[in-house]
Amino acid sequence: MALTIREVTTAADRRAFVALQFSLYADDPHWVAPLKADATALISGAKSNPWFLHAQAAFWLAYRGDTAVGRISAQVDELVLEHMGAGTGHWGMFECIDDQGVADLLLATAEDWLRTRGMVRAQGPFSLSIWDEPGVLVSGFDSAPTVMMAHHRAWLAPLIEHAGYAGIKDLHTWEVATVPFAPNVQRIVEAAAKSPKICVREVVKADFANEAALLLDILNDAWATNWGYVPLTEAEVAYVGKKLKPIVYPDLIRIAELDGVPVAFMIALPDLNEKLRDLKGNLFPFGWAKLLWRLRKPKVSRIRVPLMGVRKAFQGTRYASLMAFLLIDLIREATVRNYHAGRAEIGWILEDNGPMRAIAEVIGAKITRTYRVYEKAL
């Protein structure tokens, strides 16, 4: 049957766009279904996702006959143009069967849309931004992803490469056992704990809107020169704070102060994918009750550290190292004591982020999954 491409324009189209992923991964034992409500909200415009206040996007489904066999998005983000370079367009949400013809049709459609908006290079996948799910999995297919990380079919990266794309950046996740540190690292932790200049506190969940704004202010400063960095807007900070609040565990989110000024932070999350798997993306009719119960005091095998940072002015200093290792150790202890997790995942971390790679290596972490971002001239 001939291939056709249809733009996603209606609520029914958006439901089909989300549903396709469920059919493509139905037999993958490592894929964890996202909550359908969250997946739909991500692509439904500014009322449900403030990213659309500074970006525009289009979405398509590829069909063979009446059967959906692939999907893709294309997006132009004003903040990407400012921070990643004029003429830089993105695509993402890329999923399809193992068929080069389907992949070529999807990618060509996204590229044409970007060209008509003056873009000269296409990068992807970004689904939808670097703060969501960047890159496509190229290694680590034999295990389930942790919370807020993507899982992909092994054939997607080759399909992208055969369409003329070259990898431009790898993003790694690292995993480590939540056991006490080696003596040389423990001495750093003890020195930090004794320093009268350093104070580490838990976030205040009752005031999490303001706490989230503080965390993301530090993050925007700390990550400003990283590849792919795009600042979070005030609306996005508020959105993230509201979205994260139900899964905020204060003992896993810490802020480090130097002489009373907040300058560093670390966020860890129980691997809630372990609690979502059997819901199969559905909160109704009874999934919401199961999820709320499971979120109360989750016991998990892994936690994930998605974000940590130190304000730019202190990076490379002795205090940055002291605060980083103290934050890691305090959260490690809470992980074991309160959540029973035996492993921790750190990441993603850019392949060329020397300081973060050094920390991961010092505490004995190993790379477990790699995601790749691709680029092609238009």
> Concatenated DSSP letters for 275-314?
HHGGGTT--TTTHHHHHHHHHHS---SEEEEEEEEE-GGG
d(CA 265, CA 202): 10
pLDDT class of 289 with cuts at 50, 70, 90: very low
- Name which residue leads in pLDDT, 291 or 136: 136
pLDDT score recorded for residue 263: 96
pLDDT at 373 over 70: yes
Hey, what CATH class is 179-341 in?
alpha beta
The single residue listed with the structure tokens 């056709």 is: 4
pLDDT score recorded for residue 206: 87
Reported as a single tens digit per residue, the pLDDT across 179-212 is: 998 999 899 999 999 999 999 999 998 888 889 8
pLDDT at 290 over 50: no
In DSSP notation, 20-66 reads HHHHHTTT-TT--PPPHHHHHHHTS-TTT-GGGGSEEEEEEEEEETT
Q: For residue 304, what are its two tokens?
A: 């994930």
Q: How far is CA 210 from CA 19, 213, 237, 311, in A?
A: 36, 5, 10, 18
Q: For residue 218, what are its two tokens?
A: 């530090």
pLDDT at 281 over 70: no
End-to-end CA gap in the chain:
29
pLDDT score recorded for residue 37: 86
Q: What is the mean pLDDT of residues 263-289?
A: 71
Reported as a single tens digit per residue, the pLDDT across 2-11 is: 899 999 999 9
d(CA 234, CA 209): 11
The single residue listed with the structure tokens 């204060």 is: 250
The single residue listed with the structure tokens 């590229």 is: 111
φ, ψ dihedrals at 159, nearest 5°: -60, -40
pLDDT score recorded for residue 286: 44
Mean pLDDT is lowest, of 24-38, 286-300, 351-365, for 286-300
Query: Is the pTM value of this prediction over 0.85?
Result: yes
pLDDT at 247 over 80: no
Domain ranges of the chain: 3-169, 179-341
pLDDT score recorded for residue 278: 61
Domains 3-169 and 179-341 share a fold: yes
Reported as a single tens digit per residue, the pLDDT across 97-124 is: 999 999 999 999 999 999 999 999 999 9
- On average, the pLDDT of the chain sits at 91
- Name which residue leads in pLDDT, 101 or 240: 101
Maximum separation of any 2 CA atoms in the chain, in Å: 72
Reported as a single tens digit per residue, the pLDDT across 305-315 is: 999 999 999 99
285 prior amide bond cis, ω within 30: yes
pLDDT score recorded for residue 38: 87
- Name which residue leads in pLDDT, 280 or 325: 325
pLDDT at 84 over 90: yes
pLDDT at 285 over 80: no
φ, ψ dihedrals at 311, nearest 5°: -50, 145
pLDDT at 287 over 70: no
| CATH topology (fold) of 3-169 | Aminopeptidase (3.40.630)
